[in-house]
Chain A
Amino acid sequence: MTDPTQPAESDGIRTVSVEAVVAAIILLFGLVTAFESWRLGARWTDDGPGAGYFPFYIGLVICFASAGILVKALRTRASDTAVFVDRPSLRRVLQVLIPAALYVLAVQFIGIYVASALYIALFMVLLGKYGWPRSLIVGAVVSIVFFFMFEVWFKVPLFKGALNPTGFLGY
């Protein structure tokens, strides 16, 4: 993906630039797919088509199509000045995306239940300007509801991490 924090000329990143960068990344992806499939054996072997036969052509399709998009984006670069995302919008998007990434990181260590309760509470306090007691209660209630729905009713275990807050219940 593009680095969304890079400074833009006017107020925000231009759509054509993002278009070009995304097309370039996809082109790279297509090349990797094609080369790796070629290495695996994209040709006819003794007992039929090799493992890379199908993905190789898929890789080629990706390369040609994304190259087409890239060329078109570079051509219209001067004339097309549409803005991909302006600064306030980008800020709002990152306000959701960054906490979401931190949340997933937290889940990795302290498990889904505790991390979810904390994440919802913090999100409400920091972005929603709610008071601490209310936020903590909402977070805890949501986690408890999920606990009953998944572990108790549908018998689907969730990731508990190091804290294992429900260990004493036998789950």
Chain B
Amino acid sequence: MGEIQSLMQGFAVVLSPMNVLLMFVGIILGVLIGVLPGLGGANGVAILLPLTFTMPPTSAIIMLSCIYWGALFGGAITSILFNIPGEPWSVATTFDGYPMAQNGQAGAALTAAFTSSFIGAFVAVVMITFLAPLVAKFALKFGSPEFFAVYLLTFCSFVGMGKGSPLKILVAMALGFALAAVGMDTVTGQLRLTFGSTELMRGFDFLIAVIGLFGIGEILLSMEEGLEFKGKRARIDPKVVLQTWKLLPKYWVTSVRSSLVGIWMGITPGGATPASFMSYGLAKKMSKDGDKFGTGQIEGVIAPETAAHAAGTSALLPMLALGIPGSPTAAVLLGGLLIWGLQPGPLLFVEQKDFVWGLIASMYLGNLVGLIVVLTTVPLFASILRIPFSIVAPVIIVICAIGAYTVHGAMLDVWFMLGFGIIGYVFKKLDYPLAPLVLALVLGDKAEDAFRQSMLASQGDLMILWSNPLVGSITTLALLMLFWPLIARLIAKVRAPKADEFAAQRPVD
């Protein structure tokens, strides 16, 4: 039980007064970010990342991951009270959450959402505690062909499992790789794609891209809809909390099923949004009240929230153990690790034990703190949404600009951020997915290095990707994923496909 011992040491690292304070600060900032339109998990963490440059890495990651948990919690508040999903993964929560609020059960809906979020995250953290060290140990044997094959699998999964046009997923991904290539080549030292500009030598930082694509892009989208927040008021009194908690054990099957769906989708790069939809769909099909879903069933809140939180948490497993993030937010956290001088990947578990176990311990505590904070402060956060948009919008743009500037202290980055904002708006409207773009931008250099090292080893022979059973099966799986849209079309010709119930509502992300 080496893991338990390491975890206890992790708790010892985390439980310093400063770290607990940072945990609370992170959760509160995170909920705030989750509630505000235009600020989400990924860009919220990206904006606040520069604040942590001077902190010790363990404290920094505790605060940033708590911002992430907070954002996951916060998305539920706007979905239930305002019928506006604060985050893409809380779209499915609006289906039953908002009707519950309309029936005067806002308190119960919120309690159910927060508690299921907590349960989903908890199950996922337990899974990470025991699985991550195993995965890391296994990955220690990886050479560069294996790593490149895993990168390939990650990106091909986007094509195979993503929603929307496979060509657009491919374009988004390749654009990310191309932008990542701008600047100094890490192997030969040559300048690439800079066209003689010294400012471009730095390349495109993915933090700038994240802030622009998700932050400014979202603001433009919300503005287009002419946002007016008309929400239900909510107070959660302890009696409602206790009553709801009494109800929850009845739905344990839903919780377990949703957690498993979430964990699976989180580790593979499916992400929290499809996980929440899949879980909602399954709950609707399997529940005996299935046909009442959509009218305010508590089970319809439990299912997507548990899955979204479980997926959001599990996305950190491949990030920690392999250095491959499962979601844009995990990608931003990975960028943070690099900035603090830590190399994510299997060696992290050997060389930075304190850091890794501190982070895992903070996941347990952070989610507990998060549950307490959101249950007690919902009215406060709900009132933030009543601040008129004409005040919130400029403040968010100012926050984005400051965030973009602080990354490198360069004004040009602020202009890039604005440009990425326009791209984000247009891409969102045309259903180009943004997550593969961001992930490619983060992983571009590393994927390219792994590719070049493999090619060097084999003197340019692509067959090195099938040189042993391990790398061969990963590569084959990756290609299967890449061509899945074509294969699925062939299968559909033979057999009539099942209709996807929530295809219309599910956002492309």
State the A residues within 8 Å of B (CB): 1-2, 15, 18-19, 22, 26, 29-30, 33, 36-37, 40, 44, 48-55, 58-59, 61-62, 65-66, 68-69, 72, 84-85, 88-90, 92-93, 95-97, 99-101, 103-104, 107-108, 112, 116, 119-120, 123-124, 127-128, 130, 138, 142, 146, 150, 154-159
Contact = CB atoms under 8 A, between A and B. Distances in A.
A103 B401 contact: yes
Contacts of B225: 89
A18 B426 contact: yes
Contacts of A15: 429-430
B174 A58 contact: yes
A59 to B, nearest CB: 7
A151 to B, nearest CB: 11
A108 to B, nearest CB: 6
Nearest to B165: A69
Indicate the member of A19, A22, A36, A51 with the most B CB atoms within 10 Å.
A51
- For chain A, what secondary structure do more than half of its interface residues adopt (helix, strand, loop), or is it mixed? helix
Contacts of A103: 394, 397-398, 401
Contact of A1 (B393, B405, B426): B426
Contact of A61 (B174, B193, B390): B174
A97 B220 CA distance: 7
Interface string B455-475: 110001000000000000000
B199 interface: no
Given A40-B192, A156-B50, A120 B224 contact: no
A36 B411 CA distance: 27
B185 A51 contact: yes
Contact of A120 (B193, B394, B426): B394
Contacts of A156: 50-51, 53-54, 406
B181 A55 contact: yes
Contacts of B165: 69
A84 B174 CA distance: 25
A150 B402 contact: yes
A33 B426 CA distance: 21
Interface string B140-178: 000000000000000000000000010110110011011
Q: How large is the interface on B (under 10, 10 to 19, 20 to 34, 35 or more residues)?
A: 35 or more
Nearest to A33: B178
5 contacts: A18-B426, A49-B456, A53-B452, A54-B448, A104-B414
A120 B50 contact: no
B178 A154 contact: no
Contact of B455 (A49, A84, A124): A49
A130 B394 CA distance: 14
A96 B409 contact: no
Contacts of B395: 120, 142
B216 interface: yes
Contact of B418 (A18, A100, A112, A146): A100
B481 to A, nearest CB: 15
Nearest to A56: B181
A107 B418 CA distance: 13
B422 A97 contact: yes
Contacts of B460: 44, 49
Contacts of B411: 107-108, 159
Interface in B204-255: 216, 219-220, 223-226
B220 A58 contact: no
Given A22-B430, A116-B398, A127 B390 contact: yes
A161 B177 CA distance: 34
B405 A112 contact: yes
Contacts of B456: 48-49
Instruction: Give 3 closest A-B pairs by Cβ, nearest first.
Output: A128-B390, A123-B394, A55-B181
A52 to B, nearest CB: 7
A54 B426 contact: no
Contacts of B51: 150, 154, 156
A51 B192 contact: yes
B178 A100 contact: no
B402 A112 contact: yes
Contacts of B451: 54
A40 B422 contact: no
B190 interface: yes
A43 to B, nearest CB: 10
